Structure 1
Amino acid sequence: MNIYSYCQSCGMPLNNEDVKGTERNGLKNDDYCKYCYENNDFKNPEINLEEMQLKVKNKMEKMNQPSYLIQKAINILPTLKRWNNKH
């Protein structure tokens, strides 16, 4: 069984270097994916938790993921680092 880390913003598996976000110096970030984080900044800094949940839901539905997996992904989001550091 492979154990991956997950983006601490959207929950996407960070199962290879290609999907990891980057720091200013170009090094890969182990906490965030390239869709959420680039050049040491969040790509969408104004997004809130509810908007991220909707974004993840819509993306997973387009990928024809089963509804139980979509719900699980949405439920995990509030536990991730980005959303725990907000307020």
Structure 2
Amino acid sequence: MENLAICQSCGMPLDSEEAKGTEKDGQKSNEYCKYCYENGEFIHPKMNLEDMRSNVQKQMKKLEHHEYAIQKAINILPGLNRWKKS
């Protein structure tokens, strides 16, 4: 199985260049998605882990993901780089 890169803020797969956020120099980020990171900064810098859990749950429900997948996604959040420090 291929080791898939995921956003280190929300856990979204970074499976295409289009999904990746951008650094200050315009380069694509290999660490964060376009929904979390733009121009070298977090789009919502004051967001905390609980806010992200709520946001991921809401977005995945909107996309009609199975509850098991939603819980799995929420459970990985604390281990992602953005949240390890907090």
User: Normalised by the size of structure 2, how large is the TM-score?
Assistant: 0.96
For residues 33-81 of structure 1, the C-alpha deviation after alignment (integer angstroms, 9 at most, x for no partner) is: 0000000000000000001000000000000000000000000000000
In percent, how many aligned pairs have the same letter?
Answer: 53
Instruction: Tell me, yes or no, if structure 1 residue 44 matches structure 2 residue 37.
Output: no
Q: Could you tell me which runs of 5 or more consecutive residues in structure 2 were left unpaired when the two chains were aligned.
A: none
Q: Secondary structure at the match of 1:55?
A: helix
Q: Could you tell me which runs of 5 or more consecutive residues in structure 1 were left unpaired when the two chains were aligned.
A: none
Cα offset, 1:25, TM superposition = 0.6
Cα offset, 1:3, TM superposition = 2.9
Cα offset, 1:4, TM superposition = 1.4
Q: How does 1:7-46 map to 2 (within 5 A)?
A: 7-46=7-46
Q: Secondary structure at the match of 1:32?
A: strand
Number of equivalent positions: 86
